[in-house]
């Protein structure tokens, strides 16, 4: 991904440009594969430049960085670009710290604004060290419990060098629910409804994460309580609520892009007669299984062909809704009429 449009600059011009970049806010390209899309952090992406070796990518504006991501087909998970904001006064992940860690990892090249004629500039870390008088022997590393345990096991007691986690710029998890929102959803089954339509009108506006949370609330909290009290009428009402919710979930899934979990043999995961259907691929690098895009219709055929009776609907790490193969088939047949 070396930029062929870089102009030959005098060293004085190059120094002035780099000082301007480093003296202002920059953006660093992050790894999508190593991203934690629950907490919103990742680590600098390490590329390979022909004739230069390993490199990091920095940008003087967020727009330049976004364009690079798009033009080079980096993954954009749920509209979130794998970029970190690097402020001049940043300490833990300051530019000097990043350069120091990179040099210890054998990364000796920084590509500034690649892909943008007239402003693209590639430099070596030793050159930057000379310009800014960096002390690359001093490294600030955030040590996790796992890293500490690894260090203690080493005979030499050396700290394993790795990049520090960096917050993903403009990170947002649309699948996370606040406590306040959960409290609101918890009250839905407690209301008195004159008819099913009143209940339907309320929950049809819920998002899939909210519906999955409500599903768990009914199955894990309200139904066990009603059964323990021997309140058969309450049990019947809750089961009816669950059935309506189930139909809404299936209809919503039929309108969006969905995914299933597959193992190393490209077979979908079947746990206790239940397979997973996910409504986002945001968390695809955070588990042991791979994701495969699969429409609800195709997923249903796969369930039926393999005689699997249930489907678990979830974002991955989020709340889950359990539906049956029969319910999916019946709902889709109604929709298709």
Contact 289, 218 (CB under 8 A): no
Percentage above 90 pLDDT, the chain? 74
Query: How far is Cα 242 from Cα 201, in angstroms, rounded to an integer?
Result: 14
DSSP 3-state assignment of 103? helix
Q: Give the pLDDT score at 136.
A: 86
Q: For the chain of 337 residues, list the mean pLDDT of each consecutive stretch of 10.
A: 53 89 95 94 94 93 96 92 92 89 94 86 93 84 65 63 92 95 97 93 97 98 96 96 98 97 81 92 90 96 94 96 97 91
Over the stretch 49-101, which tens digit does the pLDDT of each residue have? 888 899 999 999 999 999 999 999 999 988 999 999 999 888 788 899 999 99
pLDDT of residue 191: 93
Q: What is the pLDDT of residue 3?
A: 44
Whole-number pLDDT of residue 5 = 46
| CB atoms closer than 10 angstroms to residue 256 | 11
The tens digit of pLDDT for each residue in 285-317 reads: 998 889 999 999 999 999 999 999 999 999 999
Listed residue (181, 199, 203, 192) closest to 249, CA to CA: 203
Residue-level pLDDT at 108: 94
- Indicate the domain borders of the chain: 11-167, 179-336
SS (H, E, C) 186-244: HCHHHCCCCCHHHHHHHHCCCCHHHHHHHHHHHHHHHHHHHHHHCCHHHHHHHHHHHHH
**53-59 and 274-278 beta bridge pairing:** unpaired
Task: Provide the CATH topology of domain 11-167.
Answer: Trna Endonuclease; Chain: A, domain 1 (3.40.1350)
Cβ neighbours of residue 303 closer than 8 Å, sequence gap 6 or more? 275, 309, 311, 325, 328
């Amino acid at each position: 991904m070396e930029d062929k449009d870089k102009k030959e600059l005098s060293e004085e011009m190059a120094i002035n440009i780099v000082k301007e970049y480093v003296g202002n806010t920059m953006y660093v390209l992050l790894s999508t594969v190593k991203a934690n899309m629950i907490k919103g952090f990742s680590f600098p992406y390490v590329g390979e430049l022909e004739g230069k070796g390993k490199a990091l990518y920095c940008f003087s504006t967020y727009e330049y960085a976004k364009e690079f991501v798009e033009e080079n087909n980096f993954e954009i998970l749920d509209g979130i670009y794998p970029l970190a904001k690097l402020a001049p006064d940043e300490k833990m992940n300051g530019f000097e710290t990043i350069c120091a860690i990179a040099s210890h990892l054998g990364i000796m090249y920084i590509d500034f604004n690649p892909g943008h004629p007239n402003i693209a500039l590639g430099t070596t870390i030793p050159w930057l060290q000379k310009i800014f008088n960096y002390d690359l022997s001093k490294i600030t590393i955030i040590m996790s419990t796992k890293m500490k345990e690894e260090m203690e096991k080493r005979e030499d007691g050396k700290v394993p060098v790795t990049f520090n986690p960096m917050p993903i710029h403009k990170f947002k998890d649309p699948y996370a629910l606040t406590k306040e929102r959960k409290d609101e959803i918890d009250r839905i089954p407690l209301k008195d409804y004159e008819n099913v339509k009143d209940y339907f009108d309320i929950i049809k506006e819920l998002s899939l994460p909210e519906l999955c949370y409500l599903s768990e609330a009914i199955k894990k909290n309200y139904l066990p309580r009603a059964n323990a009290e021997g309140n058969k009428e309450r049990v019947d009402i809750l089961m009816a609520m669950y059935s309506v919710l189930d139909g809404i979930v299936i209809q919503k899934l039929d309108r969006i892009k969905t995914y299933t979990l597959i193992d190393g043999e490209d077979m979908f995961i079947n746990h206790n007669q239940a397979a997973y259907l996910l409504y986002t691929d945001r968390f695809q690098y955070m588990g042991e299984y791979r994701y495969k895009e699969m429409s609800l219709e195709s997923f249903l055929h796969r369930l039926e062909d393999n005689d699997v009776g249930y489907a678990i609907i979830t974002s991955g790490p989020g709340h889950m809704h359990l539906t049956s193969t029969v319910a999916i088939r019946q709902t889709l047949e109604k929709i298709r009429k």
